[in-house]
Amino acid sequence: MIEIPSALEGKTFLLNVLEQELKPLGYVIGGNWDYDHGSFDYKMADDVGYQFLRLPFVAIDGQLDSYGATVELKRPYVLCHKYQRGLDDNVHIGNINASFNQFSEPEDPDATVPDQYVAMAKTLVKDLEERLLR
């Protein structure tokens, strides 16, 4: 994980306004959200694992699942998840659990981020600053 300092840090937005701005650009709300925090993720590539730019946020007024929630942006960062190739041979689950956990465990959930993706993430953050802070 590599943090990208940004003028977006500490800025507040209505969550639905952020969604309207970011989803057309390819950002999605990451699966790691909870009622008080979450992130927008942008998948940069999937050649040496998955490289993501993550824009984390916390709820400061309301809960994330309610209309009108206000969020504060935190420091963006870029991360790489490197996945195993083939089957996960350390799985000991039954049929019901297997229907929910179909994918192999990460080989390295915090793999080294190649320099080209750090540079790309910095450019993406600058683009976000221009779009959101205009």
**pLDDT tens per residue, range 75-127:** 999 988 776 555 544 555 555 544 444 444 444 455 678 889 999 999 999 99
Residue percentage of the chain with pLDDT more than 70: 76
Integer Cα distance of 52 and 28 in angstroms: 11
Tell me what pLDDT residue 66 has: 86
Integer Cα distance of 133 and 131 in angstroms: 6
pTM (2 d.p.): 0.77
Geometric angle at alpha carbon 102, from 101 and 103, rounded to 5°? 100
Integer Cα distance of 96 and 85 in angstroms: 23
CATH architecture of structural domain 1-82+105-131: 2-Layer Sandwich (3.30)
| CA trace torsion 131, 43, 75, 79 (10° rounding) | -160
What is the mean pLDDT of the segment spanning 14-33?
92
